[in-house]
Structure 1
Amino acid sequence: MTYAIVEASGTQIKVQPGYFYDLNRLHVDEEGNYTFDKVLLINNDGEVTVGQPYIEGATVQGTIQRHLRGRKVIVYKMRPKKNYRKKRGHRQELTRVMINSISVNGSVIAEAESTDAEAVTPEVVETVSE
């Protein structure tokens, strides 16, 4: 199992090729490519490389799938016996990113498995009516 820990949108997140992740809003167009260059750690089938603080030449390639908003969070403030109540709502702006590959010094060490449309399409079975 190959994975990397990257720093993106002010957070550190563990990513694997072929999976998608919701991050704080990235200012990139949808369906565009995005490169994470702040890679903190790479685990390539048990071989661990740790950066200080980042690994030189390591990148993680991803594709922006869409921008969305997270679930609503209710913030309720109250002080008893003081008639003080505030109710506020908040929805976080998110970006969904599909991770395509992890590479070190230009060579790809892990890549998402591609699914061909022809391989996924079921065969058409002809029926003969009598």
Structure 2
Amino acid sequence: MLLQLILNLVLMLGSTAQTIIGRPVLPDAAVHAVVEEHALDAKVIIFKKKRRKNYRRTKGHRQELTKLRITDIQGIAKPEPIPSMKTEKRATKVEKTAVSA
């Protein structure tokens, strides 16, 4: 079962073209997310000691974590896709070989 979330309290949105900062939140912004998994963080050991009193206590703690996948961001214009550098380099190599032939 996929749990879908809509996060309405967005403080800031940004892209390569623009950045919008809320005061304190953005009114029309929303982030849509899906819960991927629930997990536990690495164990943190808490050790207490009082010297010369034979007092030692060891405790452990693992924080619960939730991993989210962002599916959609509303409130900012979607940027145009940037052409990749690999396709441009290949095109220049083809032109050079055509000129030399």
What TM-score, normalized to structure 1?
A: 0.55
- 1:42–1:49: 8 Å Cα contact kept in structure 2? yes
Instruction: Provide the C-alpha distance between the structure 2 equivalents of 1:108 and 1:75, rounded to a whole number of angstroms.
Output: 47
Instruction: Provide the C-alpha distance between the structure 2 equivalents of 1:49 and 1:94, rounded to a whole number of angstroms.
Output: 29
The reply to whether residue 101 of structure 1 matches residue 66 of structure 2 is no
Larger Rg: 2
Equivalent position of 1:54 in the other structure: 25
Unmatched 5+ stretches in structure 1: 1-29, 111-130
What TM-score, normalized to structure 2?
A: 0.69
1:87-107: per-residue Cα shift (whole Å, max 9, x none)? Answer: 000111111111111111xx7
Equivalent position of 1:122 in the other structure: none
Please tell me the residue identity of whatever aligns with 2:78.
I
| Structure 1 counterpart SS, 2:27 | coil
- 1:101–1:108: 8 Å Cα contact kept in structure 2? no
Unmatched 5+ stretches in structure 2: 80-101
The sequence identity of aligned pairs, in percent, is: 30
Equivalent position of 1:88 in the other structure: 59
Instruction: Provide the C-alpha distance between the structure 1 equivalents of 2:60 and 2:11, rounded to a whole number of angstroms.
Output: 34
Structure holding more strand per residue: 1
**1:109 Cα offset (Å):** 3.3
Q: Aligned pair in 2 of structure 1 residues 100, 108: CA closer, same or farther (>3 Å)?
A: farther
Over 6 Å off, 4+ runs: none
**1:78 Cα offset (Å):** 1.1
Instruction: Provide the C-alpha distance between the structure 1 equivalents of 2:27 and 2:50, rounded to a whole number of angstroms.
Output: 52
CA RMSD of aligned residues (A): 1.8
| Structure 2 counterpart SS, 1:65 | strand
Equivalent position of 1:8 in the other structure: none
